[in-house]
Amino acid sequence: MTKPDHQLPKTRSGEPRAFFGRRSGKKLHGGQQAVFDATLPALEIKLSGKLDPRDLFADANRIIIEIGYGGGEHLALEAGRHPETGYIGCEVFTGGIGKMVQTIAAEGLGNIRLYTDDALKLLLALPDASVDEIYLLYPDPWPKTRHHKRRFVSPTTLGALARVIRPGGQFHFASDIEDYADWTLAHIVRAPDFRFAPEKPGDWHQPYPGWQATRYEQKARREGRLVSFYFSFTRV
């Protein structure tokens, strides 16, 4: 069971604690900004209460969410492969949103909608068992101990994920940071609504079927982090 809004993690000033850092980076150039301004309004999810994803994708056979899609490589690839599925991408970094909007416009991807605020707010607005799969790929590991409270995987978020993912659906988590992988498994084993049942030891080092490395994974390889973790947890 997720926490009511007033019980969500707070900052010292009393504001809801965000699970992300900065929102902006380099400014979009003129052409990028024009596409962004013209395209985002039709794609952006604005919350004004509860949200049924079937209202966004009336004919979709499945609903999938990707939290922190970065440059959008995985999200765009999967949406192109599965036009019958409705995808919601959550990202707060304006550079990533700009890239995703450009890709959607260039490739004519009509089965993606974007949420540009803290993903936990979106999860809290969704109905029970309304989502088939949720991806969290290469999230910010917040490596300093004092920042661990900003890691997206927590009892609060796992409770929210368990509520919105249908029984038999899955939560996918990928990272190249062993400490964050261990952190995630430690939280999952204490979460009764999820089951982790790999077929054999080491399966979690094999990428998901059809996987293409994201830019964050490519960066990790360049920096010498050669081992990644690809977990899939089933909602029981």
> In this model, does residue 14 exceed pLDDT 70?
no
135 alpha-carbon distance from chain centroid: 5
> In this model, does residue 73 exceed pLDDT 80?
yes
Q: Is 140 a catalytic site residue?
A: yes
For the chain, percent of residues with pLDDT exceeding 70: 88
Where is mean pLDDT largest: 17-21, 160-164, 220-224? 160-164
204, 230 contact by CB (below 8 A): yes
The tens digit of pLDDT for each residue in 141-193 reads 999 999 999 999 999 999 999 999 999 999 999 999 999 999 999 999 999 99
> In this model, does residue 4 exceed pLDDT 50?
no
Average pLDDT over residues 202-223: 89
What's the pLDDT score for residue 225?
Answer: 81
> In this model, does residue 102 exceed pLDDT 60?
yes
What's the pLDDT score for residue 221?
Answer: 82
Q: How many CA atoms lie within 13 A of 103 on its CB side?
A: 23
What's the pLDDT score for residue 49?
Answer: 95
What's the pLDDT score for residue 9?
Answer: 53
> In this model, does residue 104 exceed pLDDT 60?
yes
Average pLDDT over residues 194-201: 94
What's the pLDDT score for residue 13?
Answer: 47
Q: What is the pTM of this model?
A: 0.88
114, 101 contact by CB (below 8 A): yes
Q: From CA 8, how far away is CA 19, in angstroms rounded?
A: 12
Which residue out of 37, 52, 118, 140 is catalytically annotated?
Answer: 140
What's the pLDDT score for residue 46?
Answer: 96
Pick 14 or 79 by higher pLDDT.
Answer: 79
Q: From CA 212, how far away is CA 214, in angstroms rounded?
A: 6
What's the pLDDT score for residue 207?
Answer: 94
Instruction: Report helix angle 178-188 to 155-164, nearest 10.
Output: 60
Superfamily of domain 32-235: Vaccinia Virus protein VP39 (3.40.50.150)
> In this model, does residue 12 exceed pLDDT 90?
no
79, 106 contact by CB (below 8 A): no
